[in-house]
Each structure stands twice: as structure tokens, then as C-alpha cells.
């Protein structure tokens, strides 16, 4: 037991060093490991199982909205990337180049995809001819490479897993509707499956995606008050279509350019889960994406009938939850600490006395509250408790976001909040990017997160320059 206790105490307290706490949880919960390539990670089975559950959930949502999965090459010819000027300039510092194949130097450099707009456009130019070919609602699950200078597991890595939706539409109105529809899919997923609230809105001109006309974003707050860009959805207009010569014969028999969107989320969501819900005992997983929703721990398992009853419960409960039994010879205390570390939402304890009384003990990972439940009621009680865990996680995260969101009407007030309180700052902005730059400089890194859809009339003038107000912006530091 001393060793078990030491294992839990080895996690750095989040209040002492949040960055070290994060790394400790990632490693000790066995989510990933470092690889021999700087900035790249090995996603371990438990971490990948979380990603698989995320992928399955989102994939269902995409298909319910009419999207189909495709796969594009991982290499992009330099000439193809150069076709859209703003897009190229936005990604130039991050791209990885392939210059040699086998023993021969390539006649044209290849980019390892940082994103796939250009590849989709090359393909769309071949298959879109008429308005009858539209819309094209495609999604891709893949990895991308962006050569990050500073890396951290799941949050910023040189290679990461993601999905990227790429759609083409007959009209601007349809494309804009798609852009917002997929943003709402992300918002619903964060709330319903990850138990994470977020500020949702439009990026400023300075912060929008390279090549986009409009970028929308979902911005959750981590436990320490720092923002994490959780997912983005972009409206491109017909800029890419013109650059790539994608035209179709419209309903009026004239040649027209289609309107394009793209949208994506990545394994960064796992980082969001860790930093939103985790505590000093390790990971805390929302039930919807937890690889193990209920861990069954036999108590005094050497006694007759205990393992048999525990196995019977696993078989029964597998119909209503993802259940695992730990029948190893480790002590119950070790098992309790281990599965708390791994963030399993519910623990089920069953021992000789429980069997005698036709009951078991259920323990919540969030509150550690114990529930004594009849074995006859488990199929009903466990789904109820899993929902309770989800709701508790969401409400706790929402309370954290609300308590760490502040309002500023002057630059001095803004700077004071950023230095002494942190979190999100709501302030009115004139729309000038020079004010964005100044705020970032005087606060040491606070940036605009988004112009939220839910605007508030905080002031009539810009918090930075005092000119006439344009929009309320939520500001904050980011990962």
C-alpha cells in the first residue's frame, strides 16, 4: 500500500505546477509516450481508445448530416500548394518538405500535408461539372504534420490525428449555412459527449484561418483559466474554386464557381478533457468517451464465489456500459488508485458480504460518493449514475468558466485582470487589428479568442483606443 500511495502522490499538484501536473497525468494514465522523433508522440492503447470513442461519436454525427468519408494523399506537390497565395503564406513556417525519394532527388518538392484544402480542390475540379453534382459533403480522418517549435503531448505536436471536413456548395448561402451547422455539431459534441462548455463565435480578421473569408471557433476554458481552441469551421467563399479552376454549369446554364467550407477537430480534444476535468489524483473522463465506464473490483476475491459473481456482473452490465473487471492479485487499494488515475467514471466493489446482501457498492470518480445498490437494479442504476457523472463534470466546468470570466471597460482594468486574475476577459473592441496587437503586447500574450454570438453591451467604446465600439470580444491566453 505504501508503494500505491507513492504512485498517486507522484502527480504534481495542479496548483503547484499546472504544466508539470498535465505531463504527469498524460504519462501515468498511460495515454501517450514520447517517441524518437522530436515533437511526435506514441499514442498508447488507452489514449487511442479515447480517440476511437471520440471518432465513433463524431463520425456518426457527420454521417447523420449527410457527409461521406474519403481519403486524400499525404503528400502535396509544391506547385499545387502555391495556387492559393494566402493559404500558402499562412502555413509556410510550419510545413515539412520531402526533397528526395529513394536515391533520387525529386524534381518538385512535396509537402507533408498540414491540411488538405488544396488536395480536395484538385479532386473537386475533376468531378464537379454541373449543379447536379453539388453539394459535395466530404470528411477525412487522417494525420497531418505541422512543424511546431514548442510541443506538448496532445496540445501541440508535429504530427497529430484529426478529422477535416471539406464541402462544396452551389451557393454562398448554402456554404455559410454548412459552416455554422458543423460548428454547432462541434458545440453539441463538446457539451453532450465531453461535458465541456465553451464560448462560441467568430474569429477576428487577424485570427481567421489562412485563405478563409470567415472562421468560427469553439473556445473551452481549461481549469487554470487558459483557453484552448477546441475546433474551427471556415467559410472560403469561391476563392479556392477560382484559384483551382473549379466551375460548374448552373441552373441558368452559365458557368459558376462553387462555394467552399472546411472544418476540423483533433486529438487536442484529449488535452482539453485532461485540463478541464482532471484533478490531483489523475484523469477524470466523461462517460461518453471513457474506454472503461465501470471498473469491477472484487473484494476478498480469494473467497469462494466472489470472482464468479463479479464475472456474472460484467456479463450482465456489458449490455448497458463498457465494463472491465480487474481480477489481478494487486490489492483493492492499488486498484482503487489505479483506476482513479485512469479516470474511470464508476467503480463497482463486490465482496462476500455484498453478495450475501444481494448488493454492491458503486463509487463516483467525480465526488467519490458511495452508493449501495441492489444487484437487481444495476442495469437501471448504472446508466443513471453515468449521466449524473456527466452532468456533474459539465456543471463543474461551467462554474469554473463563469467564475474566471471577467469584464473590462478600460485598458488599465484589462491589464490588471490579465496579470492578477487571468481567465477570459470580455471587452468591447473597435475592429482594428492594431488594438489587438497592442493588447497582446501590454498583457504579455492575451489574444482575441472570438466575437461570441451572444453579444453584450458592456461599453460604447473600444477598451484599447476609446474609439467607437464594434463588437464584444472574449480575450484570453491560449495553449
* Residue-level pLDDT at 395: 98
Helix, strand, or coil here: 222? coil
Rounded Cα–Cα distance for residues 93 and 215 (Å): 20
Whether the predicted pLDDT of 4 surpasses 50: no
What is the radius of gyration, based on Cα positions, of the chain?
Answer: 25
For all residues of the chain together, what is the average pLDDT?
95
CB within 8 Å of 220: residues ≥ 6 apart: 190, 196, 197, 198, 199, 227, 228, 230, 272, 276, 397, 401
Whether the predicted pLDDT of 153 surpasses 70: yes
Whether the predicted pLDDT of 1 surpasses 70: no
Average pLDDT of the residues in 437-445: 97
* Residue-level pLDDT at 56: 98
pLDDT in tens, 79-96: 998 887 677 677 778 899
* Residue-level pLDDT at 5: 42
* Share above pLDDT 90 across residues of the chain, in percent, rounded to a whole number: 92
pLDDT in tens, 303-346: 999 999 999 999 999 999 999 999 999 999 999 999 999 999 99
In sequence order, what E strands does 121-179 have?
136-145, 159-169
Model pTM above 0.75: yes
Whether the predicted pLDDT of 168 surpasses 90: yes
Average pLDDT of the residues in 434-457: 96
Region at 151 (left for phi over 0; alpha for psi -120 to 50; beta for the rest): beta
Report CA dihedral (35, 44, 297, 393) to the nearest 10 degrees: 100
* Residue-level pLDDT at 7: 45
Mean pLDDT check: name the lowest of 1-5, 75-79, 170-174: 1-5
Average pLDDT of the residues in 266-292: 98
Q: For residue 239, count other CB atoms closer than 10 A to its CB.
A: 18
CB within 8 Å of 437: residues ≥ 6 apart: none
pLDDT in tens, 183-193: 999 999 999 99
In sequence order, what E strands does 228-380 have?
231-237, 248-249, 255-256, 259-266, 294-298, 323-325, 346-350, 359-364, 370-374
Whether the predicted pLDDT of 3 surpasses 60: no
Residue from 251, 255, 258, 262 nearest 135 by CA = 258
Average pLDDT of the residues in 130-152: 94
Average pLDDT of the residues in 254-265: 98
Domains with residue ranges and CATH for the chain: 17-277 (3.30.930.10), 288-388 (3.40.50.800), 405-476 (3.30.110.30)
* Residue-level pLDDT at 2: 39
Mean pLDDT check: name the lowest of 18-32, 61-75, 141-155, 171-185: 141-155
pLDDT in tens, 5-63: 444 457 999 999 999 999 999 999 999 999 999 889 999 999 999 999 999 999 999 99
Amino acid at each position: 500500500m505504501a508503494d500505491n500511495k507513492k504512485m498517486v502522490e507522484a502527480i504534481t499538484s495542479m496548483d503547484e505546477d499546472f504544466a508539470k501536473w498535465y505531463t504527469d497525468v498524460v504519462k501515468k494514465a498511460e495515454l501517450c509516450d514520447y517517441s524518437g522523433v522530436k515533437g511526435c508522440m506514441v499514442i498508447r492503447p488507452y489514449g487511442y481508445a479515447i480517440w476511437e470513442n471520440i471518432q465513433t461519436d463524431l463520425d456518426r454525427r457527420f454521417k447523420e448530416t449527410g457527409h461521406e468519408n474519403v481519403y486524400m494523399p499525404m503528400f502535396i506537390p509544391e506547385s499545387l500548394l502555391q495556387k492559393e497565395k494566402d493559404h500558402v503564406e499562412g502555413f509556410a513556417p510550419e510545413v515539412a518538405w520531402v526533397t528526395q525519394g529513394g536515391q533520387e532527388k525529386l524534381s518538385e518538392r512535396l509537402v507533408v500535408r498540414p491540411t488538405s484544402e488544396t488536395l480536395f480542390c484538385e479532386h473537386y475540379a475533376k468531378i464537379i461539372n454541373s449543379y447536379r453534382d453539388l453539394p459535395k459533403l466530404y470528411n477525412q480522418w487522417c494525420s497531418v504534420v505541422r512543424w511546431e517549435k514548442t510541443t506538448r503531448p496532445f496540445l501541440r505536436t508535429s504530427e497529430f490525428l484529426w478529422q477535416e471536413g471539406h464541402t462544396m456548395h452551389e451557393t454562398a448561402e448554402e456554404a455559410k449555412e454548412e459552416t455554422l451547422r458543423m460548428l454547432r455539431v462541434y458545440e453539441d459534441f463538446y457539451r453532450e459527449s465531453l461535458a465541456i462548455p465553451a464560448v462560441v463565435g467568430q474569429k477576428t480578421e487577424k485570427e481567421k484561418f489562412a485563405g478563409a473569408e470567415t472562421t468560427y471557433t469553439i473556445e473551452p476554458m481549461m481549469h487554470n483559466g487558459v483557453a484552448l481552441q477546441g475546433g474551427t469551421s471556415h467559410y472560403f467563399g469561391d476563392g479556392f474554386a477560382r484559384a483551382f479552376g473549379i466551375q460548374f454549369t448552373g441552373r441558368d446554364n452559365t458557368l459558376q464557381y462553387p462555394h467552399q467550407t472546411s472544418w476540423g477537430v483533433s486529438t487536442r480534444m484529449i488535452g482539453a478533457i485532461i485540463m478541464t476535468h482532471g484533478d490531483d489524483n489523475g484523469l477524470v473522463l466523461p462517460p461518453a468517451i471513457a474506454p472503461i465506464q465501470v471498473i469491477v473490483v472484487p473484494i476478498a476475491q480469494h473467497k469462494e464465489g466472489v470472482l464468479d459473481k463479479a464475472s456474472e456482473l460484467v456479463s450482465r452490465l456489458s449490455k448497458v456500459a463498457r465494463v472491465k473487471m480487474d481480477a489481478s492479485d494487486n490489492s483493492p487499494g492499488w486498484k482503487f488508485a489505479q483506476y482513479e488515475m485512469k479516470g474511470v467514471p464508476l467503480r463497482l466493489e463486490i465482496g462476500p458480504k455484498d453478495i450475501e446482501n444481494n448488493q454492491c457498492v458503486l463509487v463516483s470518480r467525480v465526488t467519490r460518493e458511495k452508493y449501495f445498490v441492489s444487484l437487481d437494479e444495476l442495469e437501471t442504476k448504472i446508466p443513471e449514475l453515468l449521466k449524473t457523472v456527466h452532468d456533474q463534470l459539465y456543471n463543474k466546468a461551467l462554474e469554473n468558466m463563469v467564475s474566471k470570466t471577467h469584464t473590462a471597460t478600460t485598458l488599465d482594468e484589462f491589464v490588471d485582470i490579465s496579470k492578477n486574475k487571468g481567465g477570459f476577459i470580455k471587452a468591447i473592441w473597435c475592429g482594428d487589428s492594431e488594438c489587438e496587437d497592442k493588447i497582446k503586447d501590454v498583457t504579455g500574450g492575451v489574444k482575441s479568442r472570438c466575437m461570441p454570438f451572444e453579444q453584450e453591451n458592456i461599453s460604447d467604446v473600444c477598451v484599447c483606443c476609446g474609439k467607437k465600439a464594434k463588437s464584444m470580444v472574449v480575450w484570453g491566453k491560449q495553449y
